[in-house]
Amino acid sequence: MARRKDLLKEYKDKRDFEKTPEPSGGKGPPPPAKSPERFFCVQKHLASQLHYDFRLEHNGVLLSWAVPKGPSLNPKDKRLAMQVEDHPLEYGQFEGVIPEGYGAGIVMLWDTGTWEPDDESICIDDALKKGQLKFQLHGYKLKGSWVLIRTKGPMRGQGSDKPSWLLIKHKDFWSGPVDVTAAAPRSVKTDRELAEILAAEEPDVWPGQRPAEGRVAGKALREVMLEAGQIRRRP
């Protein structure tokens, strides 16, 4: 019998599951659910860069994009969304600290819910291939109509073979000028901020090199570590 292609090979290749608390993804994705309910989530991820991982369930995996500035409810904002490797469905419940290796840092489950294409009669794979997917989100924080639009090829200098997209909110009842990442900063799973997630871990999770040093992410991580009581403010 021919071996089914492991759709999560790239995900697994990047990680050492002895060293990360992230889900291992098991033997591969189960067959697509019959239910029209498709899961989506957004994970705030303070790693070497601060970003929000936007994930849509499709064919038994989570299609994934890293959005450096996070989603915006303002239709004027076109948020860069860099496509990354597909993640296992179980990843959609993950929140915690990745002590080392790929993605080392803190992960917060920032929003969850279900999604559906605007037009249920379209083929999602075709829409993705064409580079435009219009969809509805039914989350705690993100709702209403959105679109993902692929821009030209992979980003230069990103060392990635995956293309870049733009994540844009359509004008509707749920759009507006509010900065949703600032207005609703907590986990929808545990109501925690990043520092509280980190504080729940061993105090010496990063005794040596931190996942982020300097710049925006380094400063953000330092603040989170101070708040979590892992380091002390210099006198």
Give the binding site for Mn ion (CB under 5 A). Answer: 45, 53
Cα separation, 92 vs 3, whole angstroms:
26
Count CB-CB contacts under 10 A for residue 136. 16
Toward Mn ion, which CB reaches closer, 39 or 102? 102
Give me the least distance between CB of 49 and Mn ion, in Å please: 9
The residue of the chain with the least Cβ separation from Mn ion equals 45
Give me the least distance between CB of 76 and Mn ion, in Å please: 25
**Residue closest to 166 by CA, chosen among 146, 141, 183, 137:** 146
Give me the least distance between CB of 67 and Mn ion, in Å please: 10
What would the two tokens of residue 47 be?
């790693």
CA angle, corner 223, sides to 78 and 14, nearest 5? 60
Give me the least distance between CB of 72 and Mn ion, in Å please: 18
DSSP assignment letter at 3: P
Beta partners for residue 164, in sequence order: 82
Helix (H, G, I), strand (E, B) or coil at 12: helix
Cα separation, 11 vs 21, whole angstroms:
14
Give me the least distance between CB of 85 and Mn ion, in Å please: 10
Toward Mn ion, which CB reaches closer, 93 or 132? 93
Beta partners for residue 147, in sequence order: 134, 168
Toward Mn ion, which CB reaches closer, 65 or 115? 65
Toward Mn ion, which CB reaches closer, 174 or 193? 193
Toward Mn ion, which CB reaches closer, 127 or 155? 155
What would the two tokens of residue 132 be?
């435009």
